[in-house]
């Protein structure tokens, strides 16, 4: 299963606020203990001498706790309970700003951006690593059949479109057995549902865009998938109609990397296995007498062009062979323990001794704005890793075209490969040594690793691979499974990096859930990723605005609001403490409860609304100068140093307000209520001045 159990996410800002709250709590306890002891000492030494105090000579056993508990009540407002409520309120508004952003609406589909998680907007401004899927995320996921190789013959190489290749059209017209069998696999080996429209045209609904492209291409070559009634598939080829009974479907999984169907030819009664999948999942299972060199060359040639390749194969089954296998398959499908592993093992018993028919090459174009988005976010100090299930050459070509890595000779792509533990070890050590001594730009040196080598590295050389992850700013991971994607995200998180994972399909869900921030693209593969993600967008290029504008503004506003909340509480609390020094350290409150409530709830609530709309720089400036994001990633607006500044500011302002208030009424016959109102007014005006000074 690609879906895991999502973990609760804690932002870096929330983690820092928790640490600062703990520090203030310790400070509060120290203050309470010191003032409590001082109050009891003054009471026993001085207070009993004063006739107006009227302390009894002997008190109850708990008398020593009275003054400390008074100071505990006075200092309880040091930690503002309202900070969590205020932050939750403004974070929900940040999420609404993302929902309401008209510049992040996909013009093609009208899909708006959406924030599912309203609690982590500020983390967008602190992203350090982006781990991205390729198909449907960087590319459009609009598959177009371009070339193919059938029985060693290449079609589409001259004009770039196999559907217009004269040689292929002539082979179809002449009824070439190899070509007909190849087209049959394209039309039958799938889970596509044909739908007849009112105009008579046939529309295809498919979970996989590759399958849809293959079925469309077969239809244009006269092998038309007409109808599917229960388990009977109807195929029209020229003037004849062919029927196949689907006996079993061996579904595609990220581990097997292929899918097959077992069908019975209703005309001849033969049982046939039709398979398609990645080259490493099909070519090694060809029957002993077949030469696969031409197919390997075709796969390499097509992948060098950035095309997605699939190998097609078939095998005729004996009746007794199928009957025996069918029983095992049904038993594996009904088991409750290790079902997926059991099914894969049973499928392996059938998918062997295949006759490879050919290779298909499908084009998946790059989305608009992808190179510019990656370049801009790199300037903002964000590093990129591409995690894909495609072949290495295909992924590298897409990486070159979208400015993910630099072309040679400027760029250097280091490969981690090998099939054994020793081979992977040597390759990893070589790449690690190069990374240690390189002085190139982040995108000028990158490493590429396939799923097999990655599995060995994570299992046997995790420490070395972790060091490589820290040193590397760019990586391409090919032929990786959904679980491996999630493991890589977890690896970077273990290095204390803030990670963002973006994808569009169900196989990206675990990666999206594992990352600090998950972004799903509402693409052609459905809404699985978008629904599981914290944020959903229509196109990859909107990620730039999501991070630079919404992420940065959210971080700035949250950093100010959280520290301001502590400032206003510490300000009033310090005045209470200073007042205790002229009131016999008795724990008497200068302010009444109504004034304190009004101060926290009413008088200081306006800045919360002001901070939500605060923009220190215009959106255009931020987009044109992405380097501004550096200080957000470093957490320079909210850390112990900045908090110490706010702490010192509250202490200084409290001294000013208290000294002025007391000295103004020092020689006047006035009630304490007057003094408290003057001090409270001073606090209100001061915090208003601070808000005006800190926001724009």
> How confident is the model over 518-574, as pLDDT tens digits?
999 986 666 888 889 999 999 999 999 999 999 999 999 999 999 999 999 999 999
Confidence of residue 453 (pLDDT cuts 50, 70, 90): very high
- What is the rounded average pLDDT of the residues 501-528? 87
Gap between the Cα atoms of 598 and 611, Å rounded: 20
Confidence of residue 2 (pLDDT cuts 50, 70, 90): very low
Give the per-residue pLDDT at 476.
93
Q: Which of 185-199, 539-553, 681-695 has the highest mean pLDDT?
A: 539-553
Question: Tokens for 140?
Answer: 């459009």
Q: State which H helix or E strand residue 196 sits in.
A: strand 193-196
Contact call for residues 187 and 261 (beta carbons, < 8 A) = no
CB-based burial, 3-16: b 16+ in 10 Å, e otherwise: ebeeeebebbbbeb
The four Cα atoms 555, 559, 560, 563 give a dihedral, to 10 degrees, of 170
Q: Which residue has the higher pLDDT, 164 or 604?
A: 164
The conformation of residue 419, written as its DSSP 8-state character, comes to S
Gap between the Cα atoms of 397 and 191, Å rounded: 29
Q: What are phi and psi of 519, to 5 degrees?
A: -120, 125
Residue 5 has pLDDT above 60, yes or no: no
The conformation of residue 413, written as its DSSP 8-state character, comes to E
Residue 3 has pLDDT above 60, yes or no: no
Question: Which range (50-64, 452-466, 663-677) has the least confidence?
Answer: 50-64
Catalytic residue among 14, 101, 123, 133: 133
Residue 484 has pLDDT above 80, yes or no: yes
Q: State which H helix or E strand residue 340 sits in.
A: helix 339-350
- Report helix angle 177-188 to 209-220, nearest 10: 140
The conformation of residue 469, written as its DSSP 8-state character, comes to H
Confidence of residue 612 (pLDDT cuts 50, 70, 90): confident
Classified as helix, coil or strand, 459 is helix
Q: Which residue has the tokens 């060693």?
A: 152
Give the per-residue pLDDT at 47.
63
What is the percent of the chain with per-residue pLDDT over 90, rounded to a whole number?
Answer: 53
Ramachandran bin of 222, using left for φ above 0, alpha for ψ from -120 to 50, beta for the remaining angles: left
Q: What are phi and psi of 122, to 5 degrees?
A: -70, -25
Question: Which range (502-506, 562-566, 596-600) has the least confidence?
Answer: 596-600
Question: Tokens for 601?
Answer: 């709830």
Q: State which H helix or E strand residue 649 sits in.
A: helix 640-664
Which residues have CB under 8 Å from 278's CB, separation 6+? Answer: 257, 258, 309, 310, 311, 391, 479
Which residues have CB under 8 Å from 230's CB, separation 6+? Answer: none
Give the per-residue pLDDT at 1.
42
**How many CA atoms does the CB half-sphere of 112 hold within 13 Å?**
11
Give the per-residue pLDDT at 253.
82
Task: Tell me the C-alpha to C-alpha distance, in Å, between residue 486 and each of 102, 175, 422, 496.
Answer: 32, 48, 25, 16
The conformation of residue 286, written as its DSSP 8-state character, comes to B
Gap between the Cα atoms of 580 and 393, Å rounded: 75
Residue 427 has pLDDT above 70, yes or no: yes
133 is catalytic: yes
Q: Which residue has the higher pLDDT, 43 or 233?
A: 233
pLDDT in tens, 314-329: 999 999 999 999 999 9
Question: Which range (42-51, 414-423, 477-486, 649-658) has the least confidence?
Answer: 42-51
Q: Which residue has the tokens 């988005």?
A: 373
Contact call for residues 332 and 345 (beta carbons, < 8 A) = yes
The conformation of residue 113, written as its DSSP 8-state character, comes to P
Contact call for residues 143 and 210 (beta carbons, < 8 A) = yes
Question: Which range (35-39, 40-44, 245-249) has the least confidence?
Answer: 40-44
CB-based burial, 323-332: b 16+ in 10 Å, e otherwise: eebeebbeeb
Gap between the Cα atoms of 371 and 509, Å rounded: 24
Gap between the Cα atoms of 436 and 677, Å rounded: 64
Give the per-residue pLDDT at 400.
86
Give the per-residue pLDDT at 285.
92
- What is the rounded average pLDDT of the residues 468-491? 91
Contact call for residues 558 and 614 (beta carbons, < 8 A) = no
DSSP 540-576: TTHHHHIIIIIIHHHHHHHHHHHHHHHHHHHHHHHHH
Residue 373 has pLDDT above 90, yes or no: yes
Cα–chain center distance at 382: 14
Residue 10 has pLDDT above 90, yes or no: no
Give the per-residue pLDDT at 428.
93
pLDDT in tens, 614-638: 888 899 999 999 999 999 999 899 9
pLDDT in tens, 204-221: 888 788 899 999 999 999
Q: State which H helix or E strand residue 194 sits in.
A: strand 193-196
Contact call for residues 68 and 25 (beta carbons, < 8 A) = no
The conformation of residue 671, written as its DSSP 8-state character, comes to -
Residue 513 has pLDDT above 90, yes or no: yes
Q: Which residue has the higher pLDDT, 472 or 376?
A: 376
Confidence of residue 604 (pLDDT cuts 50, 70, 90): confident
Give the per-residue pLDDT at 646.
95
């Amino acid at each position: 299963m690609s879906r895991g159990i999502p973990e609760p996410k804690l932002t870096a800002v929330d983690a820092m606020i928790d640490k600062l709250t703990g520090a203030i709590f310790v400070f509060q306890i120290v203050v309470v203990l010191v003032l409590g002891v001082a109050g009891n000492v003054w009471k026993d030494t001085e207070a009993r001498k004063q006739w107006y105090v009227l302390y009894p000579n002997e008190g109850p056993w708990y008398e020593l706790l009275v003054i400390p508990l008074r100071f505990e009540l006075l200092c309880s407002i040091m930690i503002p309970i309202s900070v969590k409520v205020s932050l939750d309120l403004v974070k929900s508004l940040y999420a609404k700003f993302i929902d309401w952003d008209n510049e992040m609406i996909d013009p093609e589909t009208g899909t708006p951006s959406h924030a599912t998680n309203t609690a982590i907007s500020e983390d967008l401004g602190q992203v350090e690593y982006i781990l991205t899927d390729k198909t449907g995320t960087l590319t459009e996921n609009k598959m177009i059949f371009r070339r193919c190789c059938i029985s060693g013959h290449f079609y589409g190489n001259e004009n770039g479109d196999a559907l217009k290749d004269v040689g292929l059209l002539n082979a179809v017209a002449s009824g070439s057995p190899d070509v007909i069998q190849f087209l049959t696999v394209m039309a039958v080996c799938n889970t596509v549902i044909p739908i007849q429209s009112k105009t008579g045209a046939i529309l295809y609904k498919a979970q996989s865009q590759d399958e849809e492209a293959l079925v469309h291409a077969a239809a244009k070559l006269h092998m038309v998938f007409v109808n599917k009634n229960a388990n009977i598939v109807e195929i029209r080829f020229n003037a004849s109609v062919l029927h196949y009974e689907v006996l079993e479907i061996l579904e595609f999984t990220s581990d097997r990397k292929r899918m097959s169907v077992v069908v019975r030819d209703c005309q001849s009664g033969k049982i046939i296995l039709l398979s398609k999948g990645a080259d490493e999942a099909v070519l090694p299972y060809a029957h002993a007498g077949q030469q696969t060199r031409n197919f390997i060359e075709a796969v390499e040639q097509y992948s060098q062009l950035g095309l997605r390749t699939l190998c097609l194969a078939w095998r005729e089954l004996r009746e007794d062979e199928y009957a025996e296998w069918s029983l095992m398959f049904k038993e594996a499908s009904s088991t409750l323990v290790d079902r997926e592993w059991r099914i894969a093992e049973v499928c392996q018993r059938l998918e062997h001794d295949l006759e490879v028919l050919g290779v298909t090459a499908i084009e998946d174009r790059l989305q608009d704005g992808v190179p510019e988005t990656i370049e801009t976010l790199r300037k903002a100090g964000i590093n990129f890793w591409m995690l894909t299930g495609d072949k290495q050459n295909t992924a590298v070509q897409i990486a070159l075209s979208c400015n993910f890595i630099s072309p040679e000779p400027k760029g250097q792509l280091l490969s981690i490969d090998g099939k054994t533990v020793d081979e992977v070890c040597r390759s990893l050590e070589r790449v690690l040594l190069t990374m240690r001594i390189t002085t190139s730009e982040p995108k000028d040196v990158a490493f590429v690793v396939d799923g097999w080598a990655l599995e060995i590295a994570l299992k046997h050389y995790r420490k070395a691979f972790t060091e490589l992850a820290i040193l590397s700013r760019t990586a391409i991971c090919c032929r990786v499974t959904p679980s491996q994607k999630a493991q890589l995200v977890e690896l970077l998180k273990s290095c204390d990096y803030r990670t963002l994972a973006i994808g569009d399909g169900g196989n990206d869900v675990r990666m999206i859930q594992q990352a600090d921030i998950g972004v799903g693209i509402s693409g052609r593969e459905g809404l699985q990723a978008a629904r599981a993600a914290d944020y959903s967008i229509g196109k990859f290029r909107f990620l730039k605005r999501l991070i630079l504008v919404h992420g940065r503004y959210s971080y700035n506003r949250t950093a100010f609001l959280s520290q301001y909340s502590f400032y206003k509480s510490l300000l009033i609390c310090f005045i209470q403490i200073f007042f205790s020094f002229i009131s016999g350290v008795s724990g008497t409150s200068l302010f009444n409860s109504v004034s304190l409530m009004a101060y926290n709830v009413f008088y200081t609530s306006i800045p919360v609304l002001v901070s939500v709309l605060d923009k220190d720089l215009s959106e255009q400036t931020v987009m044109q100068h992405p380097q501004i994001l550096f200080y957000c990633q470093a957490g320079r607006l909210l850390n112990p140093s900045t908090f110490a500044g706010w702490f010192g500011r509250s202490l200084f302002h409290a001294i000013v307000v208290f000294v002025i208030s007391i000295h103004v009424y020092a020689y006047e016959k006035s009630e304490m209520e007057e003094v408290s109102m003057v001090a409270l007014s001073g606090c209100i005006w001061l915090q208003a001045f601070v808000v005006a000074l800190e926001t724009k």
